[in-house]
Structure 1
Amino acid sequence: MTKFELRGVRADVLIGAEEREEILKGVDLTINSGETHAIMGPNGSGKSTLAYAIAGHPKYEITAGEVLLDGENVLEMSVDERARAGLFLAMQYPVEVPGVSMSNFLRSSVTSVRGEAPKLRAFSKELQGVMSDLSIDSSFAARGVNEGFSGGEKKRHEILQLELLKPKMAILDETDSGLDVDALKVVSKGINRAKENHEMGVMLITHYTRILNYVKPDFVHVFADGRIAESGGPELADALESDGYERFVKAGA
Protein backbone atom coordinates (compact mmCIF):
# COMPACT_ATOMS: atom_id res chain seq x y z
CA MET A 1 0.00 0.00 0.00
CA THR A 2 1.49 3.30 -1.14
CA LYS A 3 0.69 6.50 0.74
CA PHE A 4 1.29 9.97 -0.72
CA GLU A 5 1.00 12.83 1.75
CA LEU A 6 1.09 16.60 1.49
CA ARG A 7 1.54 18.24 4.88
CA GLY A 8 1.21 22.01 5.16
CA VAL A 9 2.75 22.62 1.74
CA ARG A 10 3.42 26.25 0.89
CA ALA A 11 5.13 27.33 -2.33
CA ASP A 12 6.25 30.42 -4.23
CA VAL A 13 6.45 30.99 -7.96
CA LEU A 14 9.50 32.87 -9.19
CA ILE A 15 8.65 35.96 -11.24
CA GLY A 16 11.69 37.23 -13.11
CA ALA A 17 15.14 37.09 -11.53
CA GLU A 18 14.30 38.32 -8.02
CA GLU A 19 10.56 38.65 -7.40
CA ARG A 20 8.45 35.82 -6.06
CA GLU A 21 4.80 35.34 -5.17
CA GLU A 22 3.29 32.84 -2.74
CA ILE A 23 0.76 30.61 -4.53
CA LEU A 24 0.31 27.58 -2.27
CA LYS A 25 -0.79 28.57 1.22
CA GLY A 26 -0.90 25.36 3.21
CA VAL A 27 -2.02 22.24 1.36
CA ASP A 28 -2.88 19.05 3.25
CA LEU A 29 -3.85 15.93 1.31
CA THR A 30 -3.40 12.15 1.55
CA ILE A 31 -3.77 9.81 -1.44
CA ASN A 32 -3.51 6.04 -1.05
CA SER A 33 -2.72 3.58 -3.82
CA GLY A 34 -5.78 2.68 -5.86
CA GLU A 35 -7.50 6.01 -5.09
CA THR A 36 -8.36 8.77 -7.54
CA HIS A 37 -8.55 12.31 -6.16
CA ALA A 38 -9.91 15.00 -8.47
CA ILE A 39 -8.54 18.51 -7.87
CA MET A 40 -10.93 21.10 -9.28
CA GLY A 41 -10.99 24.87 -9.06
CA PRO A 42 -11.03 28.18 -10.90
CA ASN A 43 -8.19 29.48 -13.04
CA GLY A 44 -5.33 30.92 -11.01
CA SER A 45 -6.16 28.97 -7.86
CA GLY A 46 -2.80 27.16 -7.78
CA LYS A 47 -3.65 23.71 -9.15
CA SER A 48 -0.83 23.58 -11.72
CA THR A 49 1.57 25.17 -9.24
CA LEU A 50 0.84 22.26 -6.92
CA ALA A 51 1.66 19.74 -9.66
CA TYR A 52 4.88 21.39 -10.79
CA ALA A 53 6.13 22.14 -7.29
CA ILE A 54 5.74 18.49 -6.30
CA ALA A 55 7.56 17.36 -9.45
CA GLY A 56 10.47 19.75 -8.80
CA HIS A 57 10.07 22.42 -11.51
CA PRO A 58 12.80 25.05 -10.86
CA LYS A 59 10.33 27.93 -11.27
CA TYR A 60 8.47 26.83 -8.14
CA GLU A 61 9.95 26.68 -4.64
CA ILE A 62 8.30 24.86 -1.77
CA THR A 63 8.94 27.03 1.27
CA ALA A 64 7.24 25.00 4.00
CA GLY A 65 5.73 21.60 4.64
CA GLU A 66 6.48 18.08 3.50
CA VAL A 67 5.69 15.90 0.50
CA LEU A 68 5.96 12.26 1.56
CA LEU A 69 5.87 9.12 -0.58
CA ASP A 70 5.75 6.07 1.66
CA GLY A 71 7.28 8.17 4.42
CA GLU A 72 10.18 9.51 2.33
CA ASN A 73 10.32 13.29 1.83
CA VAL A 74 10.55 13.74 -1.93
CA LEU A 75 11.57 17.37 -1.46
CA GLU A 76 15.00 16.07 -0.50
CA MET A 77 15.27 14.26 -3.85
CA SER A 78 16.37 15.53 -7.25
CA VAL A 79 13.79 15.50 -10.05
CA ASP A 80 15.05 12.21 -11.50
CA GLU A 81 15.13 10.63 -8.04
CA ARG A 82 11.48 11.58 -7.57
CA ALA A 83 10.63 9.80 -10.81
CA ARG A 84 12.55 6.70 -9.77
CA ALA A 85 10.81 6.76 -6.38
CA GLY A 86 7.48 6.45 -8.20
CA LEU A 87 6.19 9.96 -8.94
CA PHE A 88 4.87 10.80 -12.40
CA LEU A 89 3.65 14.10 -13.86
CA ALA A 90 1.58 14.31 -17.04
CA MET A 91 2.07 17.91 -18.13
CA GLN A 92 -0.68 20.26 -19.19
CA TYR A 93 1.50 21.49 -22.06
CA PRO A 94 3.87 18.69 -23.14
CA VAL A 95 7.03 20.02 -24.77
CA GLU A 96 8.55 19.05 -28.10
CA VAL A 97 12.00 17.44 -28.18
CA PRO A 98 13.15 17.54 -31.83
CA GLY A 99 15.77 15.01 -32.85
CA VAL A 100 14.95 12.48 -30.12
CA SER A 101 12.66 9.69 -31.27
CA MET A 102 9.77 8.61 -29.13
CA SER A 103 11.08 5.04 -28.94
CA ASN A 104 14.56 6.12 -27.76
CA PHE A 105 13.11 8.59 -25.26
CA LEU A 106 10.73 6.03 -23.82
CA ARG A 107 13.33 3.25 -23.62
CA SER A 108 15.76 5.62 -21.86
CA SER A 109 13.02 6.66 -19.43
CA VAL A 110 12.06 3.06 -18.70
CA THR A 111 15.73 2.14 -18.20
CA SER A 112 16.19 4.97 -15.69
CA VAL A 113 13.08 4.16 -13.69
CA ARG A 114 13.38 0.35 -13.74
CA GLY A 115 17.12 0.39 -13.09
CA GLU A 116 18.10 -1.73 -16.08
CA ALA A 117 17.67 -1.54 -19.84
CA PRO A 118 14.89 -3.77 -21.17
CA LYS A 119 15.75 -6.16 -23.97
CA LEU A 120 15.22 -4.32 -27.23
CA ARG A 121 12.86 -6.88 -28.75
CA ALA A 122 10.81 -7.20 -25.55
CA PHE A 123 10.56 -3.44 -25.15
CA SER A 124 9.53 -2.97 -28.78
CA LYS A 125 6.73 -5.49 -28.28
CA GLU A 126 5.64 -3.80 -25.03
CA LEU A 127 5.74 -0.34 -26.64
CA GLN A 128 3.73 -1.39 -29.69
CA GLY A 129 1.15 -3.05 -27.48
CA VAL A 130 0.54 0.06 -25.39
CA MET A 131 0.56 2.28 -28.48
CA SER A 132 -2.13 0.08 -30.00
CA ASP A 133 -4.21 0.31 -26.82
CA LEU A 134 -4.00 4.11 -27.05
CA SER A 135 -4.76 4.18 -30.78
CA ILE A 136 -1.32 5.66 -31.55
CA ASP A 137 -0.06 4.73 -35.01
CA SER A 138 3.11 2.63 -34.86
CA SER A 139 4.94 5.13 -37.10
CA PHE A 140 4.95 7.63 -34.21
CA ALA A 141 7.66 5.59 -32.48
CA ALA A 142 10.22 6.92 -34.97
CA ARG A 143 9.09 10.55 -34.76
CA GLY A 144 10.64 13.22 -32.56
CA VAL A 145 9.10 13.50 -29.10
CA ASN A 146 5.84 15.46 -29.54
CA GLU A 147 7.27 17.05 -32.70
CA GLY A 148 4.38 18.13 -34.90
CA PHE A 149 1.90 16.27 -32.69
CA SER A 150 -1.61 17.61 -32.26
CA GLY A 151 -2.78 18.45 -28.74
CA GLY A 152 -4.60 15.14 -28.48
CA GLU A 153 -1.58 13.18 -29.73
CA LYS A 154 0.61 14.84 -27.11
CA LYS A 155 -1.82 13.87 -24.36
CA ARG A 156 -1.90 10.26 -25.59
CA HIS A 157 1.90 10.26 -25.47
CA GLU A 158 1.76 11.37 -21.82
CA ILE A 159 -0.47 8.40 -21.00
CA LEU A 160 1.84 6.13 -23.04
CA GLN A 161 4.64 7.18 -20.69
CA LEU A 162 2.38 6.58 -17.70
CA GLU A 163 1.60 3.02 -18.75
CA LEU A 164 5.24 2.16 -19.47
CA LEU A 165 6.75 3.75 -16.35
CA LYS A 166 4.20 2.23 -13.93
CA PRO A 167 4.51 4.88 -11.18
CA LYS A 168 3.16 4.61 -7.65
CA MET A 169 1.56 8.05 -7.85
CA ALA A 170 0.42 9.89 -10.99
CA ILE A 171 -0.24 13.63 -11.08
CA LEU A 172 -2.27 14.42 -14.20
CA ASP A 173 -2.43 18.14 -14.93
CA GLU A 174 -5.47 18.84 -17.12
CA THR A 175 -4.87 15.77 -19.24
CA ASP A 176 -8.38 16.25 -20.65
CA SER A 177 -7.78 19.73 -22.06
CA GLY A 178 -7.88 19.92 -25.85
CA LEU A 179 -9.26 16.41 -26.31
CA ASP A 180 -12.28 15.56 -28.43
CA VAL A 181 -14.71 12.96 -27.13
CA ASP A 182 -13.04 10.00 -28.84
CA ALA A 183 -9.56 10.95 -27.63
CA LEU A 184 -10.92 11.59 -24.12
CA LYS A 185 -12.30 8.05 -23.99
CA VAL A 186 -9.00 6.53 -25.18
CA VAL A 187 -6.93 8.55 -22.69
CA SER A 188 -9.34 7.75 -19.85
CA LYS A 189 -9.12 4.02 -20.58
CA GLY A 190 -5.33 4.30 -20.42
CA ILE A 191 -5.49 6.01 -17.01
CA ASN A 192 -7.90 3.38 -15.70
CA ARG A 193 -5.72 0.57 -17.07
CA ALA A 194 -2.61 1.93 -15.35
CA LYS A 195 -4.48 2.42 -12.09
CA GLU A 196 -5.96 -1.07 -12.07
CA ASN A 197 -2.84 -2.90 -13.24
CA HIS A 198 -0.39 -1.21 -10.89
CA GLU A 199 -2.50 -0.11 -7.88
CA MET A 200 -1.51 3.45 -8.70
CA GLY A 201 -2.77 6.52 -6.87
CA VAL A 202 -4.04 9.38 -9.04
CA MET A 203 -4.21 13.13 -8.51
CA LEU A 204 -6.36 14.32 -11.40
CA ILE A 205 -6.36 18.09 -11.94
CA THR A 206 -9.23 19.32 -14.09
CA HIS A 207 -11.64 22.20 -14.63
CA TYR A 208 -14.48 20.11 -15.97
CA THR A 209 -16.48 17.07 -14.97
CA ARG A 210 -16.47 15.36 -18.37
CA ILE A 211 -13.32 13.30 -17.71
CA LEU A 212 -14.83 12.25 -14.38
CA ASN A 213 -17.51 10.41 -16.34
CA TYR A 214 -14.75 8.03 -17.49
CA VAL A 215 -12.16 8.23 -14.68
CA LYS A 216 -14.34 7.91 -11.60
CA PRO A 217 -13.01 9.87 -8.60
CA ASP A 218 -13.12 8.53 -5.06
CA PHE A 219 -12.70 12.05 -3.69
CA VAL A 220 -13.15 15.54 -5.10
CA HIS A 221 -11.33 18.57 -3.69
CA VAL A 222 -12.01 22.21 -4.53
CA PHE A 223 -8.83 24.24 -4.80
CA ALA A 224 -9.14 27.98 -4.18
CA ASP A 225 -6.63 30.67 -3.20
CA GLY A 226 -3.76 28.20 -2.88
CA ARG A 227 -5.40 25.66 -0.60
CA ILE A 228 -8.09 23.01 -0.47
CA ALA A 229 -11.31 24.85 0.32
CA GLU A 230 -13.68 21.88 0.41
CA SER A 231 -13.57 18.11 -0.01
CA GLY A 232 -16.23 15.53 -0.74
CA GLY A 233 -17.22 12.62 -2.92
CA PRO A 234 -18.19 12.54 -6.61
CA GLU A 235 -21.35 14.48 -5.81
CA LEU A 236 -19.20 17.56 -5.14
CA ALA A 237 -18.11 17.56 -8.81
CA ASP A 238 -21.78 17.52 -9.83
CA ALA A 239 -22.45 20.53 -7.61
CA LEU A 240 -19.52 22.39 -9.16
CA GLU A 241 -20.80 21.61 -12.65
CA SER A 242 -24.15 23.07 -11.67
CA ASP A 243 -23.11 26.04 -9.52
CA GLY A 244 -19.57 26.89 -10.65
CA TYR A 245 -16.80 28.22 -8.43
CA GLU A 246 -18.25 31.62 -7.58
CA ARG A 247 -18.64 31.05 -3.85
CA PHE A 248 -15.06 29.81 -3.57
CA VAL A 249 -13.66 32.75 -5.55
CA LYS A 250 -15.53 35.15 -3.28
CA ALA A 251 -14.35 33.33 -0.19
CA GLY A 252 -10.74 33.46 -1.34
CA ALA A 253 -10.84 37.08 -2.51
Structure 2
Amino acid sequence: MSTLEIRDLHVTVDEADGGTKEILRGVDLTIASGEVHAIMGPNGSGKSTLAYSIAGHPKYTVTGGSVTLDGADVLEMSVDERARAGLFLAMQYPVEVPGVTVSNFLRTAKTAIDGEAPKLRTWVKDVKQAMDGLRMDPSFAERNVNEHFSGGEKKRHEILQMELLKPKFAVLDETDSGLDVDALKIVSEGVNRALAGGQNPGVLLITHYTRILRYIKPDFVHVFVDGRVAEQGGPELADSLEETGYDRFLAKA
Protein backbone atom coordinates (compact mmCIF):
# COMPACT_ATOMS: atom_id res chain seq x y z
CA MET A 1 0.00 0.00 0.00
CA SER A 2 1.39 3.38 -1.05
CA THR A 3 0.16 6.91 -0.33
CA LEU A 4 0.52 10.15 -2.26
CA GLU A 5 -0.12 13.15 -0.01
CA ILE A 6 -0.57 16.74 -1.14
CA ARG A 7 -0.70 19.28 1.66
CA ASP A 8 -1.52 23.01 1.34
CA LEU A 9 0.08 23.17 -2.11
CA HIS A 10 0.58 26.65 -3.58
CA VAL A 11 1.88 27.07 -7.11
CA THR A 12 2.61 30.12 -9.29
CA VAL A 13 3.35 30.53 -13.00
CA ASP A 14 5.35 33.24 -14.75
CA GLU A 15 3.37 35.63 -16.94
CA ALA A 16 4.39 37.32 -20.19
CA ASP A 17 4.73 40.73 -18.52
CA GLY A 18 7.37 39.40 -16.13
CA GLY A 19 5.03 38.99 -13.18
CA THR A 20 3.74 35.84 -11.53
CA LYS A 21 0.25 34.50 -11.00
CA GLU A 22 -0.82 32.14 -8.26
CA ILE A 23 -2.74 29.21 -9.75
CA LEU A 24 -2.95 26.70 -6.88
CA ARG A 25 -4.09 28.24 -3.62
CA GLY A 26 -3.75 25.55 -0.99
CA VAL A 27 -4.58 22.08 -2.34
CA ASP A 28 -5.06 19.18 0.07
CA LEU A 29 -5.46 15.69 -1.34
CA THR A 30 -4.53 12.15 -0.26
CA ILE A 31 -4.55 9.20 -2.67
CA ALA A 32 -3.91 5.59 -1.67
CA SER A 33 -3.09 2.57 -3.81
CA GLY A 34 -6.08 1.27 -5.74
CA GLU A 35 -8.15 4.43 -5.29
CA VAL A 36 -9.57 6.44 -8.19
CA HIS A 37 -9.92 10.17 -7.48
CA ALA A 38 -11.71 12.28 -10.08
CA ILE A 39 -10.82 15.97 -10.23
CA MET A 40 -13.57 17.95 -11.93
CA GLY A 41 -13.86 21.68 -12.54
CA PRO A 42 -14.29 24.43 -15.10
CA ASN A 43 -11.61 25.66 -17.49
CA GLY A 44 -8.88 27.68 -15.81
CA SER A 45 -9.45 26.25 -12.35
CA GLY A 46 -5.93 24.82 -12.03
CA LYS A 47 -6.52 21.12 -12.69
CA SER A 48 -3.70 20.73 -15.23
CA THR A 49 -1.42 22.91 -13.09
CA LEU A 50 -1.88 20.36 -10.31
CA ALA A 51 -0.96 17.52 -12.69
CA TYR A 52 2.17 19.21 -14.00
CA SER A 53 3.27 20.36 -10.56
CA ILE A 54 3.15 16.76 -9.32
CA ALA A 55 5.18 15.68 -12.34
CA GLY A 56 7.76 18.47 -11.92
CA HIS A 57 7.19 20.68 -14.97
CA PRO A 58 9.69 23.58 -14.77
CA LYS A 59 7.07 26.13 -15.84
CA TYR A 60 5.39 25.88 -12.44
CA THR A 61 6.91 27.13 -9.18
CA VAL A 62 5.83 25.62 -5.87
CA THR A 63 5.72 28.43 -3.32
CA GLY A 64 4.27 26.51 -0.40
CA GLY A 65 3.05 23.15 0.84
CA SER A 66 4.30 19.64 0.24
CA VAL A 67 3.90 16.57 -1.96
CA THR A 68 5.09 13.26 -0.51
CA LEU A 69 5.05 9.68 -1.78
CA ASP A 70 5.27 7.19 1.06
CA GLY A 71 6.87 9.94 3.13
CA ALA A 72 9.52 10.86 0.53
CA ASP A 73 9.62 14.51 -0.54
CA VAL A 74 8.51 14.54 -4.18
CA LEU A 75 9.26 18.24 -4.60
CA GLU A 76 12.95 17.59 -3.94
CA MET A 77 13.09 15.00 -6.75
CA SER A 78 14.03 15.65 -10.37
CA VAL A 79 11.49 14.66 -13.03
CA ASP A 80 13.21 11.33 -13.73
CA GLU A 81 13.47 10.59 -10.00
CA ARG A 82 9.73 11.13 -9.69
CA ALA A 83 9.13 8.63 -12.49
CA ARG A 84 11.40 6.05 -10.84
CA ALA A 85 9.63 6.65 -7.51
CA GLY A 86 6.39 5.56 -9.19
CA LEU A 87 4.69 8.69 -10.58
CA PHE A 88 3.24 8.73 -14.09
CA LEU A 89 1.59 11.54 -16.04
CA ALA A 90 -0.64 10.92 -19.05
CA MET A 91 -0.49 14.30 -20.75
CA GLN A 92 -3.46 16.19 -22.16
CA TYR A 93 -1.38 17.18 -25.19
CA PRO A 94 1.33 14.52 -25.74
CA VAL A 95 4.36 15.84 -27.63
CA GLU A 96 5.85 14.41 -30.82
CA VAL A 97 9.30 12.80 -30.64
CA PRO A 98 10.54 12.49 -34.24
CA GLY A 99 13.16 9.80 -34.87
CA VAL A 100 12.24 7.70 -31.81
CA THR A 101 10.00 4.69 -32.41
CA VAL A 102 7.30 3.68 -29.97
CA SER A 103 9.01 0.33 -29.35
CA ASN A 104 12.37 1.95 -28.53
CA PHE A 105 10.74 4.61 -26.40
CA LEU A 106 8.78 2.11 -24.32
CA ARG A 107 11.70 -0.24 -23.69
CA THR A 108 14.06 2.63 -22.87
CA ALA A 109 11.53 4.07 -20.42
CA LYS A 110 10.97 0.68 -18.77
CA THR A 111 14.73 0.15 -18.43
CA ALA A 112 15.23 3.61 -16.92
CA ILE A 113 12.45 3.14 -14.38
CA ASP A 114 13.32 -0.42 -13.32
CA GLY A 115 17.09 0.06 -13.42
CA GLU A 116 17.53 -2.92 -15.76
CA ALA A 117 16.31 -3.90 -19.20
CA PRO A 118 13.26 -6.18 -19.26
CA LYS A 119 13.80 -9.71 -20.56
CA LEU A 120 13.16 -9.44 -24.27
CA ARG A 121 10.84 -12.43 -24.68
CA THR A 122 8.65 -11.40 -21.75
CA TRP A 123 8.69 -7.75 -22.82
CA VAL A 124 7.60 -8.49 -26.38
CA LYS A 125 4.73 -10.59 -25.04
CA ASP A 126 3.67 -7.86 -22.58
CA VAL A 127 3.76 -5.14 -25.25
CA LYS A 128 1.74 -7.24 -27.70
CA GLN A 129 -0.84 -8.07 -25.04
CA ALA A 130 -1.23 -4.43 -24.00
CA MET A 131 -1.47 -3.25 -27.61
CA ASP A 132 -4.06 -5.92 -28.39
CA GLY A 133 -6.11 -4.76 -25.42
CA LEU A 134 -6.00 -1.19 -26.72
CA ARG A 135 -6.78 -2.42 -30.27
CA MET A 136 -3.57 -1.00 -31.68
CA ASP A 137 -2.16 -2.40 -34.92
CA PRO A 138 1.27 -4.07 -34.46
CA SER A 139 2.77 -1.60 -36.96
CA PHE A 140 2.10 1.14 -34.41
CA ALA A 141 5.23 0.04 -32.52
CA GLU A 142 7.47 1.10 -35.40
CA ARG A 143 6.00 4.58 -35.80
CA ASN A 144 7.73 7.61 -34.29
CA VAL A 145 6.34 8.68 -30.92
CA ASN A 146 3.14 10.71 -31.44
CA GLU A 147 4.28 11.81 -34.92
CA HIS A 148 1.19 12.17 -37.12
CA PHE A 149 -0.87 10.33 -34.49
CA SER A 150 -4.57 11.08 -34.29
CA GLY A 151 -5.94 12.34 -30.98
CA GLY A 152 -7.22 8.87 -30.15
CA GLU A 153 -3.88 7.24 -31.00
CA LYS A 154 -2.03 9.66 -28.73
CA LYS A 155 -4.32 8.86 -25.81
CA ARG A 156 -4.06 5.11 -26.40
CA HIS A 157 -0.29 5.45 -26.43
CA GLU A 158 -0.41 7.22 -23.06
CA ILE A 159 -2.42 4.38 -21.54
CA LEU A 160 -0.12 1.83 -23.20
CA GLN A 161 2.73 3.45 -21.28
CA MET A 162 0.74 3.29 -18.05
CA GLU A 163 0.01 -0.42 -18.50
CA LEU A 164 3.63 -1.31 -19.27
CA LEU A 165 5.47 1.00 -16.84
CA LYS A 166 3.21 0.02 -13.91
CA PRO A 167 3.43 3.21 -11.80
CA LYS A 168 2.36 3.49 -8.19
CA PHE A 169 0.31 6.59 -9.04
CA ALA A 170 -1.02 7.72 -12.41
CA VAL A 171 -2.19 11.26 -13.10
CA LEU A 172 -4.45 11.24 -16.16
CA ASP A 173 -4.85 14.79 -17.44
CA GLU A 174 -8.05 14.95 -19.51
CA THR A 175 -7.38 11.59 -21.11
CA ASP A 176 -10.95 11.67 -22.42
CA SER A 177 -10.57 14.91 -24.41
CA GLY A 178 -10.94 14.47 -28.16
CA LEU A 179 -12.05 10.85 -27.96
CA ASP A 180 -15.11 9.43 -29.67
CA VAL A 181 -17.29 6.94 -27.79
CA ASP A 182 -15.47 3.84 -29.04
CA ALA A 183 -12.00 5.23 -28.26
CA LEU A 184 -13.19 6.37 -24.84
CA LYS A 185 -14.34 2.84 -24.00
CA ILE A 186 -11.05 1.32 -25.19
CA VAL A 187 -8.92 3.79 -23.21
CA SER A 188 -11.09 3.30 -20.12
CA GLU A 189 -10.73 -0.46 -20.40
CA GLY A 190 -6.95 0.01 -20.41
CA VAL A 191 -7.08 2.05 -17.21
CA ASN A 192 -9.34 -0.53 -15.60
CA ARG A 193 -6.94 -3.34 -16.57
CA ALA A 194 -4.11 -1.44 -14.86
CA LEU A 195 -6.27 -1.00 -11.77
CA ALA A 196 -7.12 -4.69 -11.70
CA GLY A 197 -3.50 -5.79 -12.17
CA GLY A 198 -1.01 -6.63 -9.48
CA GLN A 199 0.47 -3.12 -9.31
CA ASN A 200 -2.83 -1.67 -7.99
CA PRO A 201 -2.02 2.00 -8.76
CA GLY A 202 -3.74 5.03 -7.34
CA VAL A 203 -5.30 7.15 -10.09
CA LEU A 204 -5.90 10.91 -10.23
CA LEU A 205 -8.32 11.38 -13.11
CA ILE A 206 -8.72 14.99 -14.31
CA THR A 207 -11.77 15.67 -16.46
CA HIS A 208 -14.40 18.25 -17.35
CA TYR A 209 -17.12 15.73 -18.03
CA THR A 210 -18.80 12.78 -16.36
CA ARG A 211 -18.83 10.55 -19.44
CA ILE A 212 -15.48 8.87 -18.68
CA LEU A 213 -16.73 8.20 -15.14
CA ARG A 214 -19.32 5.86 -16.61
CA TYR A 215 -16.47 3.55 -17.52
CA ILE A 216 -13.86 4.31 -14.84
CA LYS A 217 -15.70 4.34 -11.53
CA PRO A 218 -14.28 6.89 -9.07
CA ASP A 219 -14.05 6.26 -5.35
CA PHE A 220 -13.87 10.00 -4.67
CA VAL A 221 -14.84 13.11 -6.64
CA HIS A 222 -13.26 16.50 -5.95
CA VAL A 223 -14.62 19.76 -7.35
CA PHE A 224 -11.73 22.04 -8.25
CA VAL A 225 -12.44 25.78 -8.43
CA ASP A 226 -10.07 28.76 -8.28
CA GLY A 227 -7.01 26.67 -7.48
CA ARG A 228 -8.38 24.66 -4.59
CA VAL A 229 -10.75 21.82 -3.73
CA ALA A 230 -14.17 23.42 -3.23
CA GLU A 231 -16.08 20.23 -2.39
CA GLN A 232 -15.48 16.50 -2.29
CA GLY A 233 -17.61 13.42 -2.05
CA GLY A 234 -18.36 10.08 -3.64
CA PRO A 235 -19.48 9.19 -7.17
CA GLU A 236 -22.84 10.83 -6.52
CA LEU A 237 -21.14 14.23 -6.58
CA ALA A 238 -20.30 13.72 -10.26
CA ASP A 239 -23.97 12.99 -10.96
CA SER A 240 -24.91 16.22 -9.20
CA LEU A 241 -22.42 18.18 -11.32
CA GLU A 242 -23.94 16.69 -14.46
CA GLU A 243 -27.26 18.22 -13.48
CA THR A 244 -26.23 21.55 -11.96
CA GLY A 245 -22.80 22.40 -13.40
CA TYR A 246 -20.26 24.54 -11.55
CA ASP A 247 -22.23 27.77 -11.15
CA ARG A 248 -22.82 27.38 -7.43
CA PHE A 249 -19.09 26.93 -6.80
CA LEU A 250 -18.08 29.79 -9.08
CA ALA A 251 -20.42 32.13 -7.19
CA LYS A 252 -18.47 31.43 -3.99
CA ALA A 253 -15.00 31.73 -5.57
TM-score normalised by length of structure 1:
0.98
**Structural mapping, 1:129-208, within 5 Å:** 129-197=129-197, 198-208=199-209
Q: Could you tell me which amino acid in structure 2 is paired with residue 228 of structure 1?
A: V
**Structural mapping, 1:21-36, within 5 Å:** 21-36=21-36
**3-state SS of the aligned residue for 1:170?**
strand
Q: Which residue of 1 aligns with 2:46?
A: 46
Q: Which runs of 4+ in 1 moved over 6 A?
A: none
**3-state SS of the aligned residue for 1:187?**
helix
Could you tell me how far apart the structure 2 residues matched to 1:131 and 1:49 are?
30
Could you tell me how far apart the structure 1 residues matched to 2:29 and 2:86 are?
18
Deviation of 1:23 after TM superposition, in Å, equals: 0.2
Deviation of 1:17 after TM superposition, in Å, equals: 7.7
Q: Which residue of 2 aligns with 1:118?
A: 118
Could you tell me how far apart the structure 1 residues matched to 2:35 and 2:122 are?
30
Deviation of 1:13 after TM superposition, in Å, equals: 1.2
Q: Which residue of 2 aligns with 1:243?
A: 244
Could you tell me how far apart the structure 1 residues matched to 2:127 and 2:189 are?
17
- Deviations 1:4-29 (Å, cap 9, x if unpaired)? 10000000012238321100000001
**3-state SS of the aligned residue for 1:159?**
helix
- Deviations 1:151-172 (Å, cap 9, x if unpaired)? 0000000000000100000000
Q: Which residue of 2 aligns with 1:58?
A: 58
Q: Could you tell me which amino acid in structure 2 is paired with residue 6 of structure 1?
A: I
Deviation of 1:124 after TM superposition, in Å, equals: 1.8
**3-state SS of the aligned residue for 1:251?**
coil
Q: Could you tell me which amino acid in structure 2 is paired with residue 202 of structure 1?
A: V
**3-state SS of the aligned residue for 2:20?**
strand
- Deviations 1:43-74 (Å, cap 9, x if unpaired)? 00000000001100011111100101001110
Q: Which residue of 2 aligns with 1:94?
A: 94
RMSD: 0.9
Deviation of 1:247 after TM superposition, in Å, equals: 1.1
Could you tell me how far apart the structure 2 residues matched to 1:83 and 1:22 are?
26
Deviation of 1:250 after TM superposition, in Å, equals: 1.5
Alignment coverage as a number of residue pairs? 252
Structure 1 runs not aligned, ≥5 long: none
Could you tell me how far apart the structure 2 residues matched to 1:102 and 1:14 are?
33
Could you tell me how far apart the structure 2 residues matched to 1:19 and 1:108 are?
39
Deviation of 1:129 after TM superposition, in Å, equals: 1.2
Q: Which residue of 1 aligns with 2:128?
A: 128
Q: Which residue of 2 aligns with 1:37?
A: 37
In the alignment, does 2:12 pair up with 1:9?
no
Deviation of 1:249 after TM superposition, in Å, equals: 1.3
Q: Out of 80-89 and 243-252, give the one that drifted further.
A: 243-252
Deviation of 1:123 after TM superposition, in Å, equals: 1.7
Q: Which residue of 2 aligns with 1:215?
A: 216
Q: Which residue of 2 aligns with 1:68?
A: 68
Q: Could you tell me which amino acid in structure 2 is paired with residue 161 of structure 1?
A: Q
Q: Could you tell me which amino acid in structure 2 is paired with residue 122 of structure 1?
A: T
- Percent of aligned pairs with the same residue? 69
